[in-house]
Amino acid sequence: MNRQQAKNEAPQQDRVDYGILLTIMLLGLIGMGAIYMAVANDSTQGAAIKAVVMQVVWYAVGGVGVLLIMRFDAEQLWRIEPILFGIGIFLLVAVLIFYNRQIAFKTGAKSWFKVGPITFQPSEVMKPAYILMLSRVVTLHNSKMPHNFANDWLLIGKMLLWTLPVAALLIAQHDLGTTLVFLAIFAGVVLVSGVTWRIIAPIGGGAIFIGGSALYLATQTWGQHLLEHVGFEAYQFARIQSWLNPSGATSGDSYQIWQAMKAIGSGQMTGTGFGNLNVVVPVQESDMIFSVIGETFGFIGAGVLILLYFLLIYQMIRVTFDTKNEFYAYISTGVIMMILFHVLENVGMNIGLLPLTGIPLPFVSQGGSFLLANMFSVGMVLSMRYHHQSYMFSQTEEFKGSGQGSELVDNP
């Protein structure tokens, strides 16, 4: 029995993880309701309906993308990765030249193309491509070299070789928030790659020391002058100051975070009810959408939302353990770290625990390219079960267990 016959004989209903799809649908419904309330609060009802319709369209496009990506098995993902990564790098370079000046003036980041009414952020394309590339690099390295101190350092060097160009292009766009997302993905893949703790512990300690030192310098006038020489800008210092002292300038730099905290606090336990937004929060349909949910549905509604995210992450972890494929494991780790970082940072900045970074909430915030990146990434995780189940129905040893991983390594 060959591979294609095995796939065709596997029942379709056993190969699709409907739990993950249902969780995303619930998040999408919550998001559409929150987007409607946020836009209607700032504009007209017609504008709110238009925003929801656009979100539905992006979800439909993302759904088609998920169905297509789910059809790609590990070998196909392996082979197309260099092409996807090359396209991502090309777009990150192109946006530095052809970025939309109006959006850049408003946000301070050269991160968006704009064609008519549609805006597009190339860094979102790069997220799934980067996850695939790191997974490919680690899988190939581990297949050829045993884990020891020298080889583990070599692996980290290989991963940095593919990470530094991406980080440099994002920093050139003045997009610190997205840069942190890529660093979170990098850290997650390193943790599961088999690198010894004798390397991870010092690197983690060094990162904490550097981050803490930078935070301290950002609060000192002389320190800010030093940080300006390495690329920090005035608005980043203002965000740190507003995070450390949100009540210090509630009509200035701290206005956004202070209003978000007020909105969430006013929701109390059960919220003010659907459509009853009484606190004005800037960018409420995107970065600050958690404040909409906290105000209208209260602590209970916000808790349900966070529970859905952890349910989604749990389901993706479960799929990873079921498939037992090294390449897929690194892919799912990258996707999980991407979603987890977005959730923790977005919720954290809305309640004042973390500084503002312009990080939206997955599957809930308004934004086409961001939603597509998350949908495509989840599509890669759904591919794990879709193809693993088809191999389980094969009676040949070639496609059982983790044999697919060795096939990928032998034929990259």
Q: What is the pLDDT of residues 154-165, one digit of tens each?
A: 999 999 999 999
pLDDT of the residue at 6: 46
Range of lowest pLDDT (98-102, 216-220, 401-405): 401-405
pLDDT of the residue at 403: 41
Residues 6+ apart with CB under 8 A from 175: 109, 110, 111, 123, 358
pLDDT of the residue at 118: 81
Predicted confidence (pLDDT) at residue 391 exceeds the cutoff of 60 = no
Range of lowest pLDDT (23-37, 125-139, 363-377, 397-411): 397-411
Q: Give the residue carrying structure tokens 């496009």.
A: 61
pLDDT of the residue at 211: 86
**By 3-state DSSP, what share of the chain in percent is helix, strand and coil, each rounded to 5?**
75, 0, 25
More confident site: 276 or 93: 93
The token pair at 282 is 């800037």
Predicted confidence (pLDDT) at residue 399 exceeds the cutoff of 60 = no
> So where are the chain's domains?
3-196+255-410
The span from the CA of 294 to the CA of 243, in Å, is: 19
411 confidence band (pLDDT: 50, 70, 90): very low
pLDDT of the residue at 220: 84
- Interval 374-391 mean pLDDT: 82
Burial call 46-58: b when 16+ CB within 10 Å, e when fewer: eebeebbebbeeb
> What percentage of the chain carries pLDDT values higher than 90?
56
320 confidence band (pLDDT: 50, 70, 90): confident
Specify whether the CB–CB gap between 89 and 169 falls below 8 A: yes
pLDDT of the residue at 409: 44
pLDDT of the residue at 394: 42
Predicted confidence (pLDDT) at residue 114 exceeds the cutoff of 90 = no
pLDDT of the residue at 325: 84
Full-model pTM = 0.88
94 confidence band (pLDDT: 50, 70, 90): very high
